[in-house]
Amino acid sequence: MTTTKTNAGNFFEDYKFGQILTHATPRTVTEGDAAVYMSLYGPRFAVTSSDQFARAIGYPRAPLDDLLTFHVVFGKTVPDISLNAIANLGYASGRFLKPAYPGDTLSTVSEVIGLKENSNKETGTVYVRSTGRNQKGEVVLEYIRWVMVRKRDKNAPVGEAIVPKLPDRIDPSELGSAVPTIDTAAYDLALAGSPYRWGDYEAGEKIDHVDGMTIEEAEHQMATRLYQNTAKVHFNQHTEAKGRFGKRIIYGGVVISLARALSFNGLNNAFHLAAINGGRHVAPLFAGDTVYAWSEILEKAEIPGRSDIGALRIRLVAVKNQDCSAFPLKKESGEYADGVILDVDAWVVLPR
């Protein structure tokens, strides 16, 4: 007797507007996870690197890197949302609402907030709002993403297109909830690696983060497994050899983490990623490619009620196999320049 008890993943026609997806496998995040995250990307922000530094300014201990929290919350969603995805298209309205610490258990629930079949009838775009909570039920992270997903049957009927209206940016009044009141006098600039606080940056300023990092096959495979991300495009060479690229694509979250880690050189005191206003994976990254990054300060904002921290809205751009001294972004035609792989609009927090 043959039975089917395995999960082949959802296809576009399986989703319904308003559908709630409770994702399997809550994940207790440990100091080991934090150490492996550091070994994969090399982030150097003092607050997430040192318990002593974090306690001195007002944290109970060093929090997890914000993007480690993001990856764990994101990874839960993959079997239900993007197992049959062709591409993860973008992000919006991402808010880091509460710090996560080693020992916290994170789980995720998603809501389908939009659906749009593509003109080829073979794929469609699914919009979801995913919410990550800790073991106390407190929301640590909320974000929207949209994914291009295959249809099981090209002729399967689908409902009318619903595309959510997304805000251009998170309001500064919604930032800072994940940062306790910090003692700015105890914030040791020498140990943090830079003398530049929030007040030293100006809108319009561009920063070439200078350093490059080559990503290896084993590293992105380890990262994808660490976050329990089961998408075939990232780790199944047997299937991807027959795909459009003939090889595995590096998980987009790896690109975000590499760009964020590289941004330390120039934004050393931007210790907290407070929000992701929007983001796009412009082009794929493959093992053996070298990633560089640059940032533009789009906006400088005070956070209401907070005299200890301020926010910078940055455009963080990642580029492969070329340095960023010319700040590559778009051509005269409006298309992205060759080599650009990531374009993210985010809020970061610095001491005042």
Q: Which of 203, 194, 329, 209 is nearest to 260 (CA)?
A: 209
pLDDT class of 22 with cuts at 50, 70, 90: very high
How far is 96 from 113, CA to CA, in rounded Å?
Answer: 20
pLDDT, tens digit (0-9, with 9 covering 90-100), for 43-81: 999 999 999 999 999 999 999 999 999 999 999 999 999
pLDDT of 182 strictly over 90: yes
Where are the alpha helices (H) located in the chain, listed in sequence order? 31-41, 46-49, 51-57, 66-81, 189-192, 217-226, 232-235, 237-240, 252-262
pLDDT, tens digit (0-9, with 9 covering 90-100), for 111-157: 999 999 999 999 999 999 999 999 999 999 999 999 999 999 999 98
Which pair of structure tokens corresponds to residue 285? 């990254």
Query: Tell me, what's the pLDDT at 289?
Result: 97
Q: Which of 37, 38, 88, 100 is nearest to 63 (CA)?
A: 100
pLDDT of 188 strictly over 80: yes
Query: In this structure, are strands 85-96 and 206-208 parallel, antiparallel, or unpaired?
Result: unpaired
Query: In this structure, are strands 309-320 and 290-302 parallel, antiparallel, or unpaired?
Result: antiparallel
Query: In this structure, are strands 290-302 and 206-208 parallel, antiparallel, or unpaired?
Result: antiparallel
Query: Tell me, what's the pLDDT at 83?
Result: 85
How far is 212 from 218, CA to CA, in rounded Å?
Answer: 18
Contact 57, 103 (CB under 8 A): no
Q: What is the mean pLDDT of the chain?
A: 95
Query: Tell me, what's the pLDDT at 8?
Result: 83
Query: Tell me, what's the pLDDT at 1?
Result: 74
Query: Tell me, what's the pLDDT at 255?
Result: 96
Query: Tell me, what's the pLDDT at 67?
Result: 97
Q: Which of 130, 157, 201 is nearest to 349 (CA)?
A: 201
| b (16+ CB within 10 A) / e for 239-261 | ebeeeeeeebbbbbbbbbbbbbb
pLDDT class of 240 with cuts at 50, 70, 90: confident
Cα–Cα–Cα angle for 281, 72, 30, rounded to 5 degrees: 140
Lowest-confidence segment of 25-34, 154-163, 198-207, 301-310 by average pLDDT: 154-163
Ordered by where they begin, the domains of the chain are 13-351 (3.10.129.10)
Query: Tell me, what's the pLDDT at 236?
Result: 85
Q: Averaged over 6-21, what is the pLDDT?
A: 93
pLDDT of 160 strictly over 80: yes
Beta-ladder partners of 117? 124
Q: Which of 206, 178, 172 is nearest to 314 (CA)?
A: 206
Query: Tell me, what's the pLDDT at 233?
Result: 79
pLDDT, tens digit (0-9, with 9 covering 90-100), for 283-339: 999 999 999 999 999 999 999 999 999 999 999 999 999 999 999 999 999 999 999
pLDDT of 214 strictly over 80: yes
Q: What is the dihedral of CA 113, 118, 124, 130, to 10 degrees?
A: -30
Q: Averaged over 155-166, what is the pLDDT?
A: 92
Query: Tell me, what's the pLDDT at 322?
Result: 96
How far is 15 from 6, CA to CA, in rounded Å?
Answer: 19
Query: Tell me, what's the pLDDT at 85?
Result: 83
